Amino acid sequence: MRSSTEKDYYSRLTRVLIYIQNHLNEELSLDELAEVAHFSSFHFHRIFKAMVGESVKEHVRRLRLERSAILLTSTDRTILDLALEAGYESHEAFSRAFKNQLGLPPSQFRTEHRDLKRSASSFYSPDGKLTQESIPWSETPEPEMEVKIQSIPKLTVAFVRNVGPYDDAQVAWDKLLPYLGSQGWLGADSKYIGLCHDDPDITPEDKIRYDACVTVNSEFKAEGEIQIQVIPASEYAVTTHLGPYEKLTDTYRSLFGHWLPQSGREPSSQACLEIYLNDPESTDPADLITDVHVPLVSLK
């Protein structure tokens, strides 16, 4: 396959992946998705599976179940409610599919993973392995964390997607930044944003989606792996993480495990944002500043 054809296919499949994650609550037909990608319906599914590594049905089912898993651990919504939202007609069918993918039935997953998130520091030893001891939620000290509610307008961004461990996200930045710099798109007003679509406690490491993003305007033209998307306007719970990116997981656990259950708010299905406020190339890891944004369901 020629390079220009690969870039074209990548661009069209990326449009479909973004469309799917923004329409998970809707019926998604192969004809509809083929039209988004500008492929014929006859060939679309074979192309999708070959390039993405899973069928459209498997991809949509996995994203819906992973979203359900996150909501199980961060909200009090009923299992039946989540089952219906994920496209299952019964509690039983949802439970079977959930257990097949995530290893536990939903009720047990909620109990074990909610406890895990709410007292993560007591579950884990310094080497990252689970210990035999745990502290009940009511006895877990609440971390010091300042959280603000902020309304963020829609943002148009150029991005490169990385699929794999969050530790490998630099691969996407190494593709995006040199290109934008050479085209004159990097400036004092540019925002450097990581779109974190998946929870590494839930999604298999090789399936985690991360978009390295830089704000642009409507004049920007996508090319090859450098694509464009619009981050919808939303309300976010925002806290500032100080220190190395490797420790961001601790901040997320505190937000989802401590602040969110006490806030009276629920997370939406949009991706979490990380806005990087200084340059990791010239900043000591201990001095890195990252604003972590968790999208919230609107109160309106």
Beta bridge partners of 215: 157
The amino acid that residue 297 corresponds to is: V
Tokens read off for 108: 């047990």
| pLDDT score, position 115 | 57
Which CA distances in Å does 71 have to 99, 128, 285? 16, 24, 32
| pLDDT score, position 129 | 33
| pLDDT score, position 122 | 31
Angle between the N-to-C axes of helices 3-22 and 56-74, in degrees from 0 to 180, rounded to the nearest 10: 40
| pLDDT score, position 79 | 95
Q: Where along the chain do its domains lie?
A: 3-112, 148-296
- Close Cβ partners of 251 (under 8 Å, ≥ 6 residues apart): 145, 239, 241, 292
The tally of CA atoms less than 13 A away on the side-chain side of residue 125 is 6
| pLDDT score, position 5 | 62
| pLDDT score, position 255 | 85
Phi, psi dihedral angles at 281 (to 5 degrees):
-70, -30
Contact 220, 185 (CB under 8 A): yes
| pLDDT score, position 188 | 93
Would you say domain 3-112 falls under CATH 1.10.357.10? no
**Which stretches in the chain have pLDDT values below 70?**
1-5, 115-143, 300
**116-166 tens-digit pLDDT:** 444 333 322 333 332 323 223 233 445 578 999 999 999 999 999 999 999
| pLDDT score, position 290 | 98
CA distance 141 to 135: 10
Assign domain 148-296 to its CATH superfamily: Regulatory factor, effector binding domain (3.20.80.10)
| pLDDT score, position 90 | 92
State pTM to two decimals. Answer: 0.72
Burial of 161-200, coded b for 16+ CB within 10 Å and e otherwise, reads: bbbeebeebeebbebbbebbeeeebbeeeeebbbbbbbbe
Listed residue (116, 191, 118) closest to 157, CA to CA: 191
